Structure 1
Protein backbone atom coordinates (compact mmCIF):
# COMPACT_ATOMS: atom_id res chain seq x y z
CA UNK A 1 0.00 0.00 0.00
CA UNK A 2 1.17 3.55 -0.74
CA UNK A 3 2.78 5.05 2.36
CA UNK A 4 1.23 8.45 1.76
CA UNK A 5 -2.30 7.12 1.36
CA UNK A 6 -2.21 4.75 4.34
CA UNK A 7 -0.71 7.33 6.76
CA UNK A 8 0.20 4.68 9.28
CA UNK A 9 3.99 4.93 9.55
CA UNK A 10 5.63 3.97 12.82
CA UNK A 11 9.05 5.63 12.91
CA UNK A 12 12.44 3.94 13.04
CA UNK A 13 13.88 3.94 16.57
CA UNK A 14 17.31 4.29 18.14
CA UNK A 15 18.64 0.85 19.07
CA UNK A 16 21.67 1.60 21.19
CA UNK A 17 23.26 4.06 23.63
CA UNK A 18 27.02 4.59 23.71
CA UNK A 19 29.73 7.00 24.75
CA UNK A 20 30.71 9.65 22.19
CA UNK A 21 32.97 8.43 19.36
CA UNK A 22 34.56 9.59 16.10
CA UNK A 23 33.91 7.62 12.93
CA UNK A 24 33.96 8.72 9.26
CA UNK A 25 31.13 6.23 8.51
CA UNK A 26 28.69 8.23 10.67
CA UNK A 27 27.01 11.61 10.75
CA UNK A 28 26.09 13.31 14.03
CA UNK A 29 22.97 15.36 14.80
CA UNK A 30 21.64 17.11 17.89
CA UNK A 31 19.08 15.10 19.85
CA UNK A 32 16.24 17.58 20.11
CA UNK A 33 14.14 17.54 23.28
CA UNK A 34 10.70 17.42 21.69
CA UNK A 35 8.03 15.05 20.44
CA UNK A 36 8.71 12.74 17.50
CA UNK A 37 6.35 13.23 14.56
CA UNK A 38 5.79 12.06 11.01
CA UNK A 39 4.73 14.86 8.62
CA UNK A 40 2.62 14.04 5.53
CA UNK A 41 2.89 17.05 3.22
CA UNK A 42 1.41 17.66 -0.23
CA UNK A 43 0.33 20.75 -2.20
CA UNK A 44 -3.01 21.01 -0.38
CA UNK A 45 -2.50 19.94 3.23
CA UNK A 46 -0.31 19.25 6.24
CA UNK A 47 -0.84 16.26 8.49
CA UNK A 48 1.27 15.55 11.57
CA UNK A 49 1.07 12.28 13.50
CA UNK A 50 3.00 11.22 16.59
CA UNK A 51 4.55 7.81 17.32
CA UNK A 52 1.13 6.40 18.27
CA UNK A 53 -0.32 7.73 14.98
CA UNK A 54 -2.39 10.35 16.84
CA UNK A 55 -3.10 13.49 14.79
CA UNK A 56 -1.19 16.41 16.29
CA UNK A 57 -2.15 19.41 14.16
CA UNK A 58 -5.01 20.29 16.50
CA UNK A 59 -2.34 20.80 19.21
CA UNK A 60 -0.01 22.85 17.00
CA UNK A 61 -2.28 24.79 14.59
CA UNK A 62 0.58 27.18 13.78
CA UNK A 63 2.09 24.36 11.69
CA UNK A 64 -0.98 23.84 9.50
CA UNK A 65 0.62 25.48 6.44
CA UNK A 66 4.09 23.91 6.44
CA UNK A 67 3.07 21.94 3.31
CA UNK A 68 3.58 25.24 1.46
CA UNK A 69 7.29 24.99 2.35
CA UNK A 70 7.97 21.79 0.40
CA UNK A 71 8.59 21.50 -3.33
CA UNK A 72 7.19 17.97 -3.71
CA UNK A 73 4.71 15.72 -1.98
CA UNK A 74 6.70 14.03 0.80
CA UNK A 75 6.70 12.26 4.13
CA UNK A 76 9.18 13.61 6.67
CA UNK A 77 10.38 12.24 9.99
CA UNK A 78 11.32 14.80 12.59
CA UNK A 79 10.76 16.46 15.92
CA UNK A 80 8.05 18.83 17.11
CA UNK A 81 9.77 21.34 19.35
CA UNK A 82 9.09 24.55 21.23
CA UNK A 83 12.08 26.86 21.64
CA UNK A 84 12.26 28.69 24.96
CA UNK A 85 15.28 30.72 26.09
CA UNK A 86 17.16 29.56 22.98
CA UNK A 87 16.72 25.80 23.58
CA UNK A 88 14.11 23.13 22.88
CA UNK A 89 11.88 22.92 25.97
CA UNK A 90 10.34 19.49 26.47
CA UNK A 91 7.94 20.71 29.16
CA UNK A 92 6.36 23.22 26.76
CA UNK A 93 5.76 20.79 23.87
CA UNK A 94 4.51 18.09 26.25
CA UNK A 95 2.19 20.59 27.90
CA UNK A 96 0.84 21.54 24.50
CA UNK A 97 0.32 17.91 23.46
CA UNK A 98 -1.84 17.35 26.56
CA UNK A 99 -4.03 20.44 25.98
CA UNK A 100 -7.58 20.11 24.71
CA UNK A 101 -8.99 23.63 25.15
CA UNK A 102 -8.88 25.35 21.73
CA UNK A 103 -8.55 28.84 23.20
CA UNK A 104 -5.61 27.82 25.44
CA UNK A 105 -3.92 26.10 22.49
CA UNK A 106 -4.24 29.26 20.36
CA UNK A 107 -2.87 31.34 23.24
CA UNK A 108 0.10 29.01 23.71
CA UNK A 109 0.81 28.90 19.97
CA UNK A 110 1.05 32.69 19.80
CA UNK A 111 3.15 32.96 22.99
CA UNK A 112 5.59 30.11 22.25
CA UNK A 113 5.00 28.77 18.70
CA UNK A 114 6.06 25.23 17.86
CA UNK A 115 8.23 24.27 14.91
CA UNK A 116 9.04 21.05 13.06
CA UNK A 117 12.66 20.01 12.49
CA UNK A 118 12.93 17.30 9.83
CA UNK A 119 15.85 14.88 10.00
CA UNK A 120 14.73 12.26 7.46
CA UNK A 121 12.57 11.78 4.38
CA UNK A 122 10.61 8.56 3.75
CA UNK A 123 8.61 9.46 0.63
CA UNK A 124 9.37 11.82 -2.24
CA UNK A 125 7.05 12.86 -5.07
CA UNK A 126 5.15 9.60 -5.62
CA UNK A 127 7.30 6.83 -4.13
CA UNK A 128 8.94 5.49 -0.99
CA UNK A 129 12.64 6.32 -0.49
CA UNK A 130 13.25 4.30 2.69
CA UNK A 131 15.59 1.90 0.85
CA UNK A 132 17.95 4.70 -0.19
CA UNK A 133 21.09 5.12 1.96
CA UNK A 134 20.86 7.88 4.58
CA UNK A 135 23.13 10.36 2.77
CA UNK A 136 20.98 10.21 -0.39
CA UNK A 137 17.89 10.76 1.74
CA UNK A 138 19.61 13.75 3.37
CA UNK A 139 20.26 15.29 -0.07
CA UNK A 140 16.58 14.81 -1.00
CA UNK A 141 15.53 16.36 2.30
CA UNK A 142 17.66 19.46 1.70
CA UNK A 143 16.28 19.71 -1.83
CA UNK A 144 12.60 19.45 -0.90
CA UNK A 145 12.29 21.87 2.08
CA UNK A 146 12.15 25.65 1.87
CA UNK A 147 12.99 26.59 5.46
CA UNK A 148 11.15 29.21 7.46
CA UNK A 149 10.45 29.82 11.16
CA UNK A 150 8.00 26.86 11.34
CA UNK A 151 9.95 24.16 9.49
CA UNK A 152 13.68 23.46 9.28
CA UNK A 153 16.12 20.74 8.29
CA UNK A 154 18.27 19.15 10.99
CA UNK A 155 21.93 20.07 10.63
CA UNK A 156 24.62 17.44 10.99
CA UNK A 157 28.38 17.09 11.04
CA UNK A 158 30.54 14.21 9.82
CA UNK A 159 33.18 12.17 11.66
CA UNK A 160 33.75 14.42 14.72
CA UNK A 161 31.28 12.96 17.21
CA UNK A 162 33.32 13.56 20.38
CA UNK A 163 33.75 17.29 19.78
CA UNK A 164 30.11 17.65 18.78
CA UNK A 165 29.00 15.85 21.95
CA UNK A 166 31.19 18.15 24.07
CA UNK A 167 29.54 21.15 22.43
CA UNK A 168 26.06 19.77 23.23
CA UNK A 169 27.16 19.14 26.82
CA UNK A 170 28.56 22.68 27.22
CA UNK A 171 25.20 24.06 26.14
CA UNK A 172 23.31 21.62 28.42
CA UNK A 173 21.46 20.08 25.49
CA UNK A 174 20.03 16.57 25.61
CA UNK A 175 22.81 14.95 23.59
CA UNK A 176 23.50 13.81 20.03
CA UNK A 177 22.56 10.94 17.70
CA UNK A 178 25.07 9.10 15.51
CA UNK A 179 23.69 7.65 12.26
CA UNK A 180 25.44 5.30 9.86
CA UNK A 181 25.79 7.00 6.46
CA UNK A 182 24.78 3.97 4.40
CA UNK A 183 21.80 2.97 6.59
CA UNK A 184 18.31 2.40 5.21
CA UNK A 185 15.16 3.49 7.05
CA UNK A 186 13.37 0.64 8.84
CA UNK A 187 9.83 1.58 9.93
CA UNK A 188 8.83 0.48 13.43
CA UNK A 189 12.22 -1.09 14.19
CA UNK A 190 14.99 -0.39 16.67
CA UNK A 191 18.28 -0.45 14.85
CA UNK A 192 21.90 -0.03 15.88
CA UNK A 193 22.40 2.12 12.77
CA UNK A 194 21.20 4.97 15.01
CA UNK A 195 23.09 5.45 18.29
CA UNK A 196 22.06 7.73 21.12
CA UNK A 197 24.82 9.64 22.96
CA UNK A 198 23.13 11.40 25.85
CA UNK A 199 24.35 14.05 28.25
CA UNK A 200 21.15 14.02 30.31
CA UNK A 201 19.96 10.47 30.97
CA UNK A 202 16.24 9.73 31.04
CA UNK A 203 13.88 6.81 30.58
CA UNK A 204 10.16 6.12 30.24
CA UNK A 205 8.18 4.54 33.07
CA UNK A 206 4.61 3.45 33.72
CA UNK A 207 2.88 5.49 36.44
CA UNK A 208 1.58 2.79 38.79
CA UNK A 209 0.50 4.77 41.84
CA UNK A 210 1.33 7.58 44.23
CA UNK A 211 2.12 8.11 47.90
CA UNK A 212 1.29 11.14 50.04
CA UNK A 213 4.22 11.91 52.35
CA UNK A 214 4.80 14.49 55.08
CA UNK A 215 4.59 18.23 54.36
CA UNK A 216 2.50 17.77 51.21
CA UNK A 217 5.24 15.82 49.36
CA UNK A 218 4.01 13.39 46.69
CA UNK A 219 5.94 10.39 45.39
CA UNK A 220 5.08 8.61 42.12
CA UNK A 221 5.50 4.82 42.00
CA UNK A 222 7.22 3.68 38.78
CA UNK A 223 7.20 0.45 36.79
CA UNK A 224 8.54 -1.02 33.56
CA UNK A 225 7.59 -4.14 31.66
CA UNK A 226 9.62 -7.31 31.40
CA UNK A 227 7.62 -9.28 28.84
CA UNK A 228 4.03 -9.04 30.10
CA UNK A 229 5.06 -8.57 33.73
CA UNK A 230 5.13 -5.10 35.31
CA UNK A 231 8.28 -4.72 37.41
CA UNK A 232 8.59 -2.23 40.30
CA UNK A 233 11.24 0.44 39.56
CA UNK A 234 11.06 2.67 42.63
CA UNK A 235 9.77 6.21 43.23
CA UNK A 236 10.29 9.72 41.93
CA UNK A 237 9.48 12.72 44.12
CA UNK A 238 11.16 15.81 42.65
CA UNK A 239 9.74 17.78 39.72
CA UNK A 240 6.08 16.73 39.80
CA UNK A 241 3.89 19.61 38.65
CA UNK A 242 0.39 20.27 40.00
CA UNK A 243 -0.93 19.91 36.45
CA UNK A 244 0.59 16.46 36.01
CA UNK A 245 -0.48 15.24 39.44
CA UNK A 246 -4.11 16.26 38.80
CA UNK A 247 -4.11 13.98 35.75
CA UNK A 248 -2.45 11.14 37.69
CA UNK A 249 -4.90 11.51 40.58
CA UNK A 250 -7.88 11.43 38.18
CA UNK A 251 -6.98 7.95 36.91
CA UNK A 252 -9.19 5.02 38.02
CA UNK A 253 -7.90 3.32 41.18
CA UNK A 254 -7.27 -0.41 41.53
CA UNK A 255 -7.47 -2.37 44.76
CA UNK A 256 -4.22 -4.34 44.53
CA UNK A 257 -0.68 -3.37 43.61
CA UNK A 258 0.20 -4.43 40.02
CA UNK A 259 3.63 -6.00 40.61
CA UNK A 260 4.69 -9.59 41.31
CA UNK A 261 7.27 -8.32 43.79
CA UNK A 262 7.18 -5.05 45.72
CA UNK A 263 9.83 -3.49 47.96
CA UNK A 264 8.98 -2.19 51.44
CA UNK A 265 7.83 1.42 51.84
CA UNK A 266 4.71 1.25 49.69
CA UNK A 267 2.12 0.44 52.38
CA UNK A 268 0.23 3.72 51.94
CA UNK A 269 0.39 3.82 48.12
CA UNK A 270 -2.73 4.58 46.10
CA UNK A 271 -2.66 2.22 43.10
CA UNK A 272 -4.04 3.31 39.73
CA UNK A 273 -4.65 1.64 36.39
CA UNK A 274 -1.22 1.55 34.67
CA UNK A 275 -2.23 3.62 31.64
CA UNK A 276 0.01 6.69 31.98
CA UNK A 277 3.63 7.06 30.86
CA UNK A 278 6.13 9.51 32.32
CA UNK A 279 9.72 10.49 31.61
CA UNK A 280 12.18 10.55 34.50
CA UNK A 281 15.64 12.16 34.38
CA UNK A 282 18.40 10.71 36.54
CA UNK A 283 22.16 10.81 37.07
CA UNK A 284 22.72 7.06 36.67
CA UNK A 285 21.23 3.62 37.26
CA UNK A 286 22.67 1.58 40.13
CA UNK A 287 23.72 -2.06 39.71
CA UNK A 288 20.25 -3.25 40.83
CA UNK A 289 18.52 -0.98 38.32
CA UNK A 290 17.28 1.72 40.70
CA UNK A 291 17.60 5.39 39.75
CA UNK A 292 20.05 7.79 41.35
CA UNK A 293 18.74 11.35 41.87
CA UNK A 294 15.56 10.90 39.80
CA UNK A 295 13.57 13.96 38.68
CA UNK A 296 10.10 13.78 37.13
CA UNK A 297 10.30 15.34 33.67
CA UNK A 298 6.64 15.03 32.66
CA UNK A 299 3.84 12.81 31.37
CA UNK A 300 3.81 11.81 27.71
CA UNK A 301 0.92 10.55 25.59
CA UNK A 302 2.91 9.49 22.52
CA UNK A 303 4.07 6.19 24.01
CA UNK A 304 2.11 3.11 25.04
CA UNK A 305 2.74 1.83 28.60
CA UNK A 306 3.69 -1.63 27.25
CA UNK A 307 6.56 0.03 25.34
CA UNK A 308 8.18 1.03 28.66
CA UNK A 309 10.52 -1.94 28.93
CA UNK A 310 13.54 -2.83 31.03
CA UNK A 311 16.81 -2.58 29.08
Structure 2
Protein backbone atom coordinates (compact mmCIF):
# COMPACT_ATOMS: atom_id res chain seq x y z
CA UNK A 1 0.00 0.00 0.00
CA UNK A 2 1.31 3.42 -0.96
CA UNK A 3 2.04 6.12 1.62
CA UNK A 4 -0.92 8.18 0.44
CA UNK A 5 -3.28 5.23 0.77
CA UNK A 6 -1.97 4.51 4.26
CA UNK A 7 -2.59 8.10 5.33
CA UNK A 8 -6.12 7.96 3.96
CA UNK A 9 -6.76 4.77 5.89
CA UNK A 10 -5.47 6.33 9.14
CA UNK A 11 -7.53 9.47 8.52
CA UNK A 12 -10.65 7.40 7.92
CA UNK A 13 -9.99 5.41 11.10
CA UNK A 14 -9.53 8.63 13.11
CA UNK A 15 -12.73 10.09 11.65
CA UNK A 16 -14.61 6.92 12.57
CA UNK A 17 -13.22 6.98 16.12
CA UNK A 18 -14.09 10.67 16.48
CA UNK A 19 -17.63 10.01 15.26
CA UNK A 20 -18.01 7.17 17.77
CA UNK A 21 -16.76 9.38 20.61
CA UNK A 22 -19.15 12.15 19.59
CA UNK A 23 -22.03 9.69 19.47
CA UNK A 24 -21.11 8.30 22.90
CA UNK A 25 -20.84 11.80 24.38
CA UNK A 26 -24.19 12.77 22.87
CA UNK A 27 -25.75 9.61 24.32
CA UNK A 28 -24.30 10.32 27.78
CA UNK A 29 -25.49 13.93 27.65
CA UNK A 30 -28.96 12.81 26.59
CA UNK A 31 -29.07 10.24 29.39
CA UNK A 32 -27.90 12.81 31.94
CA UNK A 33 -30.48 15.30 30.63
CA UNK A 34 -33.27 12.73 31.10
CA UNK A 35 -32.08 11.95 34.62
CA UNK A 36 -31.72 15.64 35.48
CA UNK A 37 -35.21 16.37 34.15
CA UNK A 38 -36.72 13.57 36.21
CA UNK A 39 -34.68 14.05 39.39
CA UNK A 40 -34.18 17.81 39.27
CA UNK A 41 -30.36 17.95 39.42
CA UNK A 42 -27.14 17.11 37.58
CA UNK A 43 -26.36 13.57 38.77
CA UNK A 44 -22.62 13.42 38.08
CA UNK A 45 -21.90 16.87 39.48
CA UNK A 46 -24.06 16.16 42.52
CA UNK A 47 -22.18 12.90 43.21
CA UNK A 48 -18.80 14.61 42.96
CA UNK A 49 -19.75 17.45 45.29
CA UNK A 50 -21.48 14.99 47.62
CA UNK A 51 -18.32 12.91 47.95
CA UNK A 52 -16.31 16.04 48.73
CA UNK A 53 -18.77 17.09 51.44
CA UNK A 54 -18.74 13.54 52.84
CA UNK A 55 -14.95 13.68 53.12
CA UNK A 56 -15.06 16.98 54.99
CA UNK A 57 -17.79 15.65 57.31
CA UNK A 58 -15.89 12.45 58.15
CA UNK A 59 -12.62 14.30 58.67
CA UNK A 60 -14.20 16.79 61.06
CA UNK A 61 -16.04 14.04 62.96
CA UNK A 62 -13.28 11.49 63.42
CA UNK A 63 -10.25 13.65 64.25
CA UNK A 64 -9.37 15.80 67.29
CA UNK A 65 -12.05 14.20 69.45
CA UNK A 66 -14.90 15.75 67.45
CA UNK A 67 -14.02 19.39 68.17
CA UNK A 68 -13.57 20.00 64.45
CA UNK A 69 -17.11 18.73 63.95
CA UNK A 70 -18.45 21.43 66.27
CA UNK A 71 -16.63 24.03 64.19
CA UNK A 72 -18.02 22.37 61.07
CA UNK A 73 -21.57 22.64 62.46
CA UNK A 74 -20.93 26.29 63.35
CA UNK A 75 -19.79 26.95 59.78
CA UNK A 76 -22.85 25.20 58.32
CA UNK A 77 -25.18 27.12 60.63
CA UNK A 78 -23.54 30.45 59.80
CA UNK A 79 -23.80 29.90 56.05
CA UNK A 80 -27.30 28.41 56.19
CA UNK A 81 -28.83 31.24 58.24
CA UNK A 82 -27.36 33.81 55.85
CA UNK A 83 -28.79 31.80 52.97
CA UNK A 84 -32.29 31.63 54.48
CA UNK A 85 -32.24 35.26 55.65
CA UNK A 86 -31.21 36.34 52.15
CA UNK A 87 -34.03 34.31 50.61
CA UNK A 88 -36.47 35.98 52.99
CA UNK A 89 -35.13 39.41 52.08
CA UNK A 90 -35.47 38.68 48.35
CA UNK A 91 -39.12 37.86 49.07
CA UNK A 92 -39.53 41.21 50.85
CA UNK A 93 -39.14 40.02 54.44
CA UNK A 94 -36.27 41.77 56.15
CA UNK A 95 -34.38 39.38 58.41
CA UNK A 96 -31.18 40.87 59.95
CA UNK A 97 -28.37 38.70 58.58
CA UNK A 98 -25.78 39.78 61.13
CA UNK A 99 -28.33 39.26 63.89
CA UNK A 100 -29.20 35.70 62.88
CA UNK A 101 -25.53 34.77 62.39
CA UNK A 102 -24.55 36.05 65.85
CA UNK A 103 -27.59 34.38 67.41
CA UNK A 104 -27.08 31.12 65.55
CA UNK A 105 -23.42 30.77 66.45
CA UNK A 106 -24.23 31.59 70.07
CA UNK A 107 -26.75 28.73 70.12
CA UNK A 108 -24.18 26.25 68.77
CA UNK A 109 -21.69 27.38 71.43
CA UNK A 110 -24.32 27.12 74.17
CA UNK A 111 -25.17 23.56 73.10
CA UNK A 112 -21.50 22.58 73.20
CA UNK A 113 -20.63 24.14 76.55
CA UNK A 114 -23.93 23.88 78.46
CA UNK A 115 -25.89 21.07 76.85
CA UNK A 116 -29.63 20.95 76.21
CA UNK A 117 -30.48 23.49 78.91
CA UNK A 118 -27.99 25.94 77.48
CA UNK A 119 -29.40 25.47 73.99
CA UNK A 120 -32.95 26.15 75.14
CA UNK A 121 -31.95 29.25 77.11
CA UNK A 122 -29.88 30.51 74.20
CA UNK A 123 -32.90 30.15 71.91
CA UNK A 124 -34.93 32.43 74.19
CA UNK A 125 -32.07 34.91 74.43
CA UNK A 126 -31.45 34.86 70.68
CA UNK A 127 -35.16 35.36 69.99
CA UNK A 128 -35.24 38.39 72.26
CA UNK A 129 -32.06 39.78 70.68
CA UNK A 130 -33.36 39.35 67.14
CA UNK A 131 -36.74 40.87 68.00
CA UNK A 132 -35.13 43.94 69.56
CA UNK A 133 -32.68 44.16 66.65
CA UNK A 134 -35.48 44.27 64.07
CA UNK A 135 -37.61 46.70 66.08
CA UNK A 136 -34.68 49.13 66.44
CA UNK A 137 -33.99 48.79 62.71
CA UNK A 138 -37.62 49.54 61.96
CA UNK A 139 -37.73 52.58 64.23
CA UNK A 140 -34.45 53.92 62.84
CA UNK A 141 -35.50 53.52 59.20
CA UNK A 142 -36.02 56.67 57.16
CA UNK A 143 -39.29 55.32 55.82
CA UNK A 144 -41.69 54.27 58.60
CA UNK A 145 -42.22 50.49 58.77
CA UNK A 146 -45.81 49.34 59.18
CA UNK A 147 -46.46 47.25 62.32
CA UNK A 148 -47.83 44.40 60.20
CA UNK A 149 -44.62 44.29 58.14
CA UNK A 150 -42.48 44.49 61.27
CA UNK A 151 -44.31 41.56 62.89
CA UNK A 152 -43.96 39.50 59.72
CA UNK A 153 -40.22 40.23 59.63
CA UNK A 154 -39.80 39.30 63.29
CA UNK A 155 -41.57 35.97 62.87
CA UNK A 156 -39.49 35.21 59.77
CA UNK A 157 -36.35 35.84 61.83
CA UNK A 158 -37.59 33.65 64.70
CA UNK A 159 -38.40 30.87 62.24
CA UNK A 160 -34.85 31.13 60.89
CA UNK A 161 -33.44 30.67 64.39
CA UNK A 162 -35.56 27.61 65.14
CA UNK A 163 -35.25 25.98 61.73
CA UNK A 164 -31.47 26.19 61.33
CA UNK A 165 -29.37 26.76 64.49
CA UNK A 166 -31.79 25.26 67.02
CA UNK A 167 -32.38 22.04 65.08
CA UNK A 168 -28.78 21.91 63.86
CA UNK A 169 -27.41 22.23 67.40
CA UNK A 170 -28.96 18.88 68.30
CA UNK A 171 -26.09 17.35 66.32
CA UNK A 172 -23.74 18.95 68.86
CA UNK A 173 -25.83 17.52 71.71
CA UNK A 174 -25.76 14.10 70.04
CA UNK A 175 -21.97 14.26 69.76
CA UNK A 176 -21.75 14.67 73.53
CA UNK A 177 -23.51 11.37 74.35
CA UNK A 178 -21.41 8.23 74.99
CA UNK A 179 -20.22 6.91 71.63
CA UNK A 180 -21.53 10.19 70.25
CA UNK A 181 -19.37 10.26 67.13
CA UNK A 182 -20.91 6.99 65.98
CA UNK A 183 -24.42 8.26 66.75
CA UNK A 184 -23.78 11.28 64.55
CA UNK A 185 -22.31 9.08 61.84
CA UNK A 186 -25.31 6.75 62.04
CA UNK A 187 -27.72 9.68 61.75
CA UNK A 188 -26.02 11.05 58.65
CA UNK A 189 -25.67 7.58 57.12
CA UNK A 190 -29.37 6.79 57.47
CA UNK A 191 -30.44 10.26 56.28
CA UNK A 192 -28.18 10.01 53.23
CA UNK A 193 -29.49 6.49 52.58
CA UNK A 194 -33.02 7.90 52.54
CA UNK A 195 -31.96 10.48 49.97
CA UNK A 196 -30.10 7.96 47.79
CA UNK A 197 -32.87 5.35 48.02
CA UNK A 198 -35.52 7.89 47.08
CA UNK A 199 -33.39 9.24 44.24
CA UNK A 200 -32.53 5.84 42.76
CA UNK A 201 -36.03 4.39 43.00
CA UNK A 202 -37.66 7.63 41.89
CA UNK A 203 -35.49 7.96 38.78
CA UNK A 204 -35.79 4.33 37.71
CA UNK A 205 -39.31 3.40 38.83
CA UNK A 206 -41.07 6.62 39.77
CA UNK A 207 -44.52 7.03 38.20
CA UNK A 208 -46.98 7.98 40.93
CA UNK A 209 -46.50 11.52 42.23
CA UNK A 210 -46.37 11.81 46.00
CA UNK A 211 -46.94 15.55 46.48
CA UNK A 212 -47.14 17.15 43.02
CA UNK A 213 -48.08 20.58 44.35
CA UNK A 214 -45.23 20.72 46.86
CA UNK A 215 -42.41 18.67 45.31
CA UNK A 216 -43.17 17.50 41.74
CA UNK A 217 -40.17 15.15 41.60
CA UNK A 218 -41.18 13.05 44.62
CA UNK A 219 -42.92 9.76 43.92
CA UNK A 220 -44.35 6.95 46.03
CA UNK A 221 -41.91 4.56 44.38
CA UNK A 222 -39.10 6.84 45.54
CA UNK A 223 -40.51 6.84 49.06
CA UNK A 224 -40.61 3.04 49.02
CA UNK A 225 -36.98 2.96 47.91
CA UNK A 226 -36.10 5.39 50.68
CA UNK A 227 -37.88 3.18 53.22
CA UNK A 228 -35.92 0.09 52.20
CA UNK A 229 -32.63 1.97 52.24
CA UNK A 230 -33.39 3.52 55.64
CA UNK A 231 -34.24 0.18 57.24
CA UNK A 232 -31.18 -1.58 55.85
CA UNK A 233 -28.83 1.26 56.84
CA UNK A 234 -30.52 1.68 60.22
CA UNK A 235 -30.23 -1.98 61.21
CA UNK A 236 -26.70 -2.31 59.84
CA UNK A 237 -25.18 0.73 61.56
CA UNK A 238 -27.12 0.20 64.80
CA UNK A 239 -25.88 -3.37 65.25
CA UNK A 240 -22.36 -2.67 63.98
CA UNK A 241 -21.55 0.63 65.68
CA UNK A 242 -24.15 1.62 68.28
CA UNK A 243 -24.21 -1.66 70.24
CA UNK A 244 -28.02 -1.78 70.07
CA UNK A 245 -30.37 -4.63 69.02
CA UNK A 246 -31.57 -4.87 65.42
CA UNK A 247 -35.10 -3.69 66.21
CA UNK A 248 -33.68 -0.35 67.39
CA UNK A 249 -32.25 -0.01 63.91
CA UNK A 250 -35.72 -0.48 62.43
CA UNK A 251 -37.09 2.26 64.69
CA UNK A 252 -34.12 4.49 63.89
CA UNK A 253 -34.60 3.96 60.16
CA UNK A 254 -38.37 4.57 60.32
CA UNK A 255 -38.01 7.77 62.34
CA UNK A 256 -35.32 9.22 60.09
CA UNK A 257 -37.34 8.20 57.02
CA UNK A 258 -40.27 10.28 58.26
CA UNK A 259 -38.26 13.27 59.46
CA UNK A 260 -35.98 13.35 56.42
CA UNK A 261 -38.93 13.18 54.03
CA UNK A 262 -40.88 15.70 56.09
CA UNK A 263 -37.88 18.02 56.23
CA UNK A 264 -37.47 17.85 52.47
CA UNK A 265 -41.15 18.65 51.92
CA UNK A 266 -41.01 21.46 54.49
CA UNK A 267 -38.15 23.14 52.67
CA UNK A 268 -40.03 22.73 49.39
CA UNK A 269 -42.97 24.54 50.97
CA UNK A 270 -40.68 27.34 52.14
CA UNK A 271 -39.19 27.73 48.66
CA UNK A 272 -42.66 27.71 47.12
CA UNK A 273 -43.79 30.38 49.58
CA UNK A 274 -40.71 32.49 48.79
CA UNK A 275 -41.02 31.73 45.06
CA UNK A 276 -37.45 30.41 44.64
CA UNK A 277 -36.21 27.19 43.00
CA UNK A 278 -33.16 26.75 45.25
CA UNK A 279 -32.12 28.58 48.39
CA UNK A 280 -28.93 29.57 46.57
CA UNK A 281 -26.47 28.17 44.02
CA UNK A 282 -23.45 27.95 46.32
CA UNK A 283 -23.07 24.17 45.99
CA UNK A 284 -22.77 23.01 42.35
CA UNK A 285 -25.27 20.27 41.54
CA UNK A 286 -27.03 20.65 44.88
CA UNK A 287 -28.40 24.20 44.92
CA UNK A 288 -28.03 25.83 48.31
CA UNK A 289 -26.70 24.49 51.59
CA UNK A 290 -30.22 24.26 53.01
CA UNK A 291 -31.19 22.14 50.03
CA UNK A 292 -28.76 19.54 51.42
CA UNK A 293 -29.51 20.05 55.11
CA UNK A 294 -33.31 20.00 54.88
CA UNK A 295 -33.57 16.27 55.66
CA UNK A 296 -30.86 16.32 58.34
CA UNK A 297 -32.09 19.23 60.45
CA UNK A 298 -35.27 17.61 61.86
CA UNK A 299 -33.60 14.19 61.93
CA UNK A 300 -31.03 15.37 64.48
CA UNK A 301 -33.86 15.87 66.97
CA UNK A 302 -35.27 12.33 66.62
CA UNK A 303 -31.78 10.80 66.81
CA UNK A 304 -31.11 12.66 70.05
CA UNK A 305 -34.57 11.72 71.33
CA UNK A 306 -33.97 8.04 70.52
CA UNK A 307 -30.65 8.10 72.36
CA UNK A 308 -32.43 9.71 75.31
CA UNK A 309 -35.21 7.10 75.26
CA UNK A 310 -32.70 4.24 75.17
CA UNK A 311 -30.93 5.61 78.25
CA UNK A 312 -27.72 6.31 76.37
CA UNK A 313 -27.50 9.73 78.03
CA UNK A 314 -27.73 8.43 81.57
Larger RCO (CA under 8 A, 6+ residues apart): 1
Q: Calculate the TM-score normalised by the size of structure 1.
A: 0.24
Larger radius of gyration between Structure 1 and Structure 2: 2
- Taking structure 2 as the reference length, the TM-score comes to 0.24
